[in-house]
Amino acid sequence: MIPRITIAEAGRHAGETVQLAGWLYNLRRSGKIAFPILRDGSGLMQCVAVKSSLPEELFETIKNLTQESSIMVTGKVRAEQRAPGGFELDVENVEVLQRVPESDPYPITPKEHGIDFLMDHRHLWLRSQHQHAIIRVRHEVIKAVRDYFDSHGFTLVDTPIFTPAACEGTTSLFEVNYFDDAKAFLTQSGQLYNEATAMAFGKVYCFGPTFRAEKSKTRRHLTEFWMVEPEMAYAGLEDVKRVAEEMIVFIVGRVLENRREELKRLERDVAKLEAIQAPFTRMSYDDAVKILQSKGSEIQWGGDFGGTDETLLTADRDRPLMVDRFPTSIKAFYFEPDPERPDVVLGVDVLAPEGYGEIVGGGQRIHDPELLLRRIEEHHLPKEAFNWYIDLRKYGTVPHGGFGMGIERCVAWICGLEHIRETIAFPRMLHRLSP
RNA sequence: UCCGCAGUAGCUCAAUGGUAGAGCAUUCGGCUGUUAACCGAAGGGUUGUAGGUUCGAGUCCUACCUGAGGAGCCA
């Protein structure tokens, strides 16, 4: 019985006859020799078919294979300097499961394509090397996130996707029918529910899809994205900052450890990632505004950063930047005010270097029931909808805090991508709902 | 939602208001070590849609559609 292996394992089988199962990535041929390159999801393998050592019919079959045809190849693995990857397979047999017809060839050729065409063919584009590398880095980032929290005493408690009301009231939500007469909204954050589970488990995190109906049309926005949100009881702003910093350093370290090959394929400057070490630069909102003004930004105290402001602040830094103590007026209702300065809140944003902007936002939450009620009124939020949330302050309230990190923004930064849309298999954007 | 930009062969792009072209892909032929292989040939077009200016429009004007970029909002 000939063993079936993956291309990634081929190096351990040099000299053995094995079977590979995959798709034809490319084919170069001359009259009497052909080099089919096989793709199986784990890597690429150059195969060699020599006319003189194969039955004529088989050689003709190989010579006429079309791109992305599904095939199983049997042959002997051999170390070969000239082959990409260092190993080659001498073809003994090829079984064709489906030959892609030349009347309707595979649309994504080895040449360049425009973004619109590629997005329309996203279901096929995922087969290409570049996309493959990005999705694998994403996998590593997600695994690192989970490993970090799992090994630091956090319990995974996922929060609902159907919610009855806005979590923050400021941004728009996707509305869906919920049976006969009720409306539900797709969640834009698990945070409020996290605050409940943190009072039950101490340290928790949720990780799932999040939805924003904002009509944002930039390289940093999706309407559906994945967010990890830790929340900790008996914790303040400094604890939030420390955990965010530790987590980011851990994630980048893991990607460097396990996904070098992918980063190389993405032509990522690895030195920039190796520089991601604690401590990150810490800065108050006040100082950030002064720096921005000195660099020519129009920002005034009390205003929020624009995309160009974030770039100005981080472009010449080699580590993430933590900005804290934002004006109360520009932040959500649940932020705890600074006890020494009630006009600012104990919130923090983490801005990735190289101009990638905000990847983490969080802070300390209000734990005083009186203040929370006042804020709900000031923001004109329906108090009844928040009864359960107010209960958390009635029954054993404690200082607590947490943050959210957008996975796609983090992956875009680590991969060094221009646009967030390639960091998720099937991106959902303002004008893109398919495939 | 706002501001400019673009739309020509399956794909990526050319074409001064005057005969619609190239590379890749596809088909046929050649080549025993190719590396987005190479060489030769062939097929492939309602120039986004509708109207207008002009002897003549891919090119100029108007509207619409679609897309990509940026702004605002945000992770």
| Nucleic strand B near CB of residue A348 (< 7 Å) | no
Q: Are A188 and A175 in contact (CB under 8 A)?
A: no
pLDDT of the residue at A355: 80
| Nucleic strand B near CB of residue A117 (< 7 Å) | yes
| Nucleic strand B near CB of residue A423 (< 7 Å) | no
Query: Would you state the structure tokens that stand for residue A379, as one six-digit string?
Result: 């923001």
Distance from CA(A96) to C1'(B40), angstroms, rounded = 31
- Domain A7-98 listed as CATH 3.30.70.920: no
Q: Are A270 and A263 in contact (CB under 8 A)?
A: yes
Tell me the per-residue pLDDT of A302-312, one tens digit each, with 9 for 90 and over: 888 877 888 88
Tell me the per-residue pLDDT of A311-329, one tens digit each, with 9 for 90 and over: 888 877 889 999 999 999 8
Q: Which long-range CB contacts under 8 A does A382-386 form with residues at least 24 apart?
A: A382/A165, A385/A164, A385/A165
Per-residue pLDDT 10s for chain A (435 aa) are: 889 999 999 989 999 999 999 999 989 888 889 999 999 999 899 999 998 889 988 998 898 899 999 999 999 999 988 887 889 999 999 999 999 888 888 888 877 788 888 988 899 999 988 999 999 999 999 999 999 999 999 999 999 999 886 544 545 788 888 887 778 888 888 999 999 999 999 999 999 999 988 888 888 889 999 999 999 999 999 999 999 999 999 999 999 999 999 999 898 999 999 999 989 999 999 999 998 888 888 888 888 887 788 888 887 788 999 999 999 988 889 999 999 999 999 999 999 988 888 899 999 999 999 999 999 988 888 888 889 999 999 999 999 999 999 999 999 999 999 899 999 999 998 878 878
pLDDT of the residue at A303: 84
- In strand B, which positions have an atom below 7 A from any protein CB? 1-2, 10-13, 23-27, 30-38, 66-75
DSSP annotation of A429: B
Distance from CA(A116) to C1'(B61), angstroms, rounded = 29
Amino acid in position A128: S
Distance from CA(A215) to C1'(B64), angstroms, rounded = 22
Same fold, A7-98 and A123-423: no
Task: Residue A408: name the closest of A210, A214, A227 by CA.
Answer: A227
Q: Are A97 and A71 in contact (CB under 8 A)?
A: yes
Distance from CA(A362) to C1'(B7), angstroms, rounded = 43
How far is Cα A358 from Cα A405, in angstroms, rounded to an integer? Answer: 9
pLDDT of the residue at A170: 45
Query: Would you state the structure tokens that stand for residue A320, as one six-digit string?
Result: 């993430």
How far is Cα A208 from Cα A407, in angstroms, rounded to an integer? Answer: 10
- Closest protein residue to B23 (Cα–C1'): A111
How far is Cα A256 from Cα A276, in angstroms, rounded to an integer? Answer: 11
Vertex A297, ends A293 and A298: CA angle to 5°?
Answer: 95
CATH architecture of A123-423: 2-Layer Sandwich (3.30)
The domain segmentation of chain A, as residue ranges, is 7-98, 123-423
How far is Cα A323 from Cα A47, in angstroms, rounded to an integer? Answer: 54
Question: A53 CB contacts (<8 Å, ≥6 apart)?
Answer: none
How far is Cα A159 from Cα A147, in angstroms, rounded to an integer? Answer: 19
User: Strands A341-352, A321-327: parallel, antiparallel or unpaired by DSSP?
Assistant: antiparallel
- Closest protein residue to B34 (Cα–C1'): A28
Look at residue A76 and give its three-state secondary structure. strand
Distance from CA(A36) to C1'(B37), angstroms, rounded = 12
User: Strands A87-98, A155-156: parallel, antiparallel or unpaired by DSSP?
Assistant: unpaired
Please identify which residue in the block is written with the tokens 């398919």: A434
Torsion angles phi and psi, residue A162, rounded to 5: -80, 125
**Residues forming a β-bridge with A351:** A321, A358
